[in-house]
């Protein structure tokens, strides 16, 4: 088939993940889902109790955090939290966040663009596309900015926790906004002929990119960090596992109040409470390294509720940051 030049509404399918291996992996993951309830992971108390805690940064500045209102839908708990059936359902959403620092305003996980079903989803292979397609009334990032009266020109950059499609697709409507991501994540997402499963390259291509390294000291239970502004108010911490360059974004909200934006390290706080990974289906498709994801989960659980953890897809965790 001749290669065609991508146009605004005809994405370049040559970077699409090949379908057959995805179907094979999906069958394996779906079979594993049946065993989730009878073969739960053993708690690794040795790893958890051996984790040093380097404590919080000493910030000299603070930021404000705003969660964009989003449609939440109930999903079966067993499809989110491995082996857990009570409560029967939990809420899931695709929340985006706005952070204002004294010297910059940025978006964490700009999730959804207008018309995402036609403009981004076609690059995802089936059956993943069917599983992750958002409801028709999902709210785009530009729609949220409009609702809040924030001009897109106010946004200085985007800071995704990782580069899966549903954490960057909103950038399709914001072509002028640069992106900041870890070198490991960028090389994983963009450095191969075919996009890794869950990555859609269209929101990332033809865009200014600044790469950072996690070259800073341990923070809390995380081994590496990067202080974005050098003032302890926005500190990225290593949450590799879900993807190779996944980070958590630790925000100082002032007066000893902190929030740890956890991306997809967990999909719901119930996972931290019960120390359970994401369900085998779709977790085996979406986690690049299941063992690494489990270690990151244990690092989150070892925080013992000292700071607020905000998974991108948990609307209850994000609710306190909605602008009312
Ligand atoms: Zn993800």
What lies within 8 Å, CB to CB, of 72 at 6+ separation is 91, 92, 93, 315
Q: Is residue 224 part of a domain?
A: yes
Instruction: Tell me the CA–centroid distance for residue 166 and ligand 1, in Å.
Output: 7
**Interior/surface letters 157-169, b for 16+ CB within 10 angstroms, e for the rest:** bbbbbbbbbbbbb
CATH code, domain with 31: 3.60.15.10
| Ligand 1 center–CA 199 separation, angstroms | 9
Give me ligand 1 centre to Cα 255, in Å: 31
CA of 82 to the centre of ligand 1 (A): 16
pLDDT, the chain, mean? 89
Count of C-beta atoms within a 10 Å radius of residue 148? 12
pLDDT in tens, 129-175: 888 899 899 999 999 999 999 999 999 999 999 999 999 999 999 99
129 CA distance to ligand 1 middle (Å): 14
Exposed/middle/buried for 292, CB within 10 Å: 0-12, 13-18, 19+?
A: middle
Confidence of residue 34 (pLDDT cuts 50, 70, 90): low
Q: Distance from the CA of 14 to the center of ligand 1, in angstroms?
A: 22
% of the chain beyond a pLDDT of 70? 86
Q: What is the number of domains present in the chain?
A: 1
Q: What are the φ and ψ backbone dihedral angles of 97, each rounded to 5 degrees?
A: -135, 145
Distance 54 CA to ligand 1 centre (A): 27
Lowest average pLDDT, out of 15-24, 54-63, 110-119, 257-266, goes to: 15-24
In a domain, 9, yes or no: no
Q: Distance, CA 174 to ligand 1 centroid (Å)?
A: 20
pLDDT per residue as tens digits for the range 220-271: 999 999 999 999 999 999 999 999 999 999 999 999 999 999 999 999 999 9
Distances 5 to 8, 76, 120, 193 between C-alpha atoms, Å = 10, 41, 16, 16
Residue 321 has pLDDT above 80, yes or no: yes
pLDDT at 37 over 60: yes
- For ligand 1, the distance from its centroid to the CA atom of residue 170, given in whole angstroms, is 15
- In a domain, residue 217? The reply is yes
The parent domain of residue 208 ranges over 17-321
Confidence at residue 1, expressed as pLDDT on a 0 to 100 scale: 33
pLDDT digit string, tens, across residues 179-200: 999 999 999 999 999 999 999 9
Residue 230: HSE in the Cβ half-sphere, 13 Å Cα cutoff: 1
Whether 115 has a pLDDT exceeding 80, the answer reads yes
Q: Is residue 188 part of a domain?
A: yes
The runs of H, that is alpha helices, within 157-216 are 183-190
> Ligand 1 centre from 283 Cα, in Å?
10
Q: How far is the CA of 79 from the centre of ligand 1 (A)?
A: 15
With 0-12 / 13-18 / 19 or more C-beta atoms within 10 angstroms meaning exposed / middle / buried, residue 207 is middle
Q: Tell me, in angstroms, the distance from the centre of ligand 1 to residue 108's CA.
A: 13
pLDDT at 278 over 60: yes
pLDDT of res. 8: 39
Q: How far is the CA of 66 from the centre of ligand 1 (A)?
A: 21
In the predicted structure, residue 79 carries a pLDDT above the cut 90: no
Q: Taking 50 as the threshold, does the pLDDT of residue 6 lie above it?
A: no
Residue 10: inside a domain: no
C-alpha of 143 from chain center: 20
Q: Would you say residue 2 lies in a domain?
A: no
CA 194 – CA 8 distance, rounded (Å): 20
Q: What is the pTM of this model?
A: 0.89
Is 77 contained in some domain? yes
Pull the structure tokens for residue 85.
């059936």
Q: Mapping DSSP to helix (H, G, I), strand (E, B) and coil, where does residue 235 land?
A: strand
| Structural domain includes residue 303 | yes
CA of 288 to the centre of ligand 1 (A): 9
């Amino acid at each position: 088939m001749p290669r065609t030049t991508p146009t605004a509404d005809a994405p370049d399918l040559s970077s699409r993940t090949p379908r057959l291996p995805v179907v094979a992996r999906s069958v394996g993951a779906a079979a594993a889902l049946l065993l989730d309830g009878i073969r739960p992971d053993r708690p690794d108390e040795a790893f958890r109790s051996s984790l040093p805690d380097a404590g919080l940064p000493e910030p000299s500045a603070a930021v404000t955090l705003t969660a964009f209102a989003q449609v939440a839908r109930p999903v079966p708990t067993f499809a989110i939290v491995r082996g857990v059936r009570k409560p029967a359902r939990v809420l899931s959403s695709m929340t985006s966040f706005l952070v204002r620092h004294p010297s910059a305003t940025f978006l964490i996980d700009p999730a959804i663009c207008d018309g995402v079903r036609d403009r981004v989803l076609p690059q995802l292979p089936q059956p993943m596309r069917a599983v992750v397609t958002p409801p028709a009334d999902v709210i785009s990032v530009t729609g949220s900015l409009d609702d809040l009266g924030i001009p897109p020109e106010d946004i200085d950059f985007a800071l995704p926790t990782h580069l899966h499609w549903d954490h960057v697709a909103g950038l399709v409507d914001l072509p002028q906004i640069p992106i900041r991501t870890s070198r490991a994540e960028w090389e994983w997402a963009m450095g191969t002929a075919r996009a890794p499963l869950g990555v859609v390259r269209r929101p990332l291509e033809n865009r200014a990119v600044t790469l950072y390294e996690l070259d800073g000291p341990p923070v809390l239970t995380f081994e590496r960090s990067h202080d974005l502004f050098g003032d302890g108010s926005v500190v990225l911490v290593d949450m590799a596992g879900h993807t190779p360059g996944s980070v958590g974004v630790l925000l100082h909200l002032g007066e000893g109040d902190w929030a740890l934006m956890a991306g997809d390290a967990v999909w719901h706080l119930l996972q931290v409470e019960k120390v359970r990974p994401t369900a085998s289906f779709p977790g085996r498709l979406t986690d690049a390294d299941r063992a690494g994801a489990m270690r990151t989960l244990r690092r989150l659980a070892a925080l013992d509720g000292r700071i607020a953890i905000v998974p991108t897809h948990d609307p209850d965790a994000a609710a306190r940051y909605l602008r009312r």
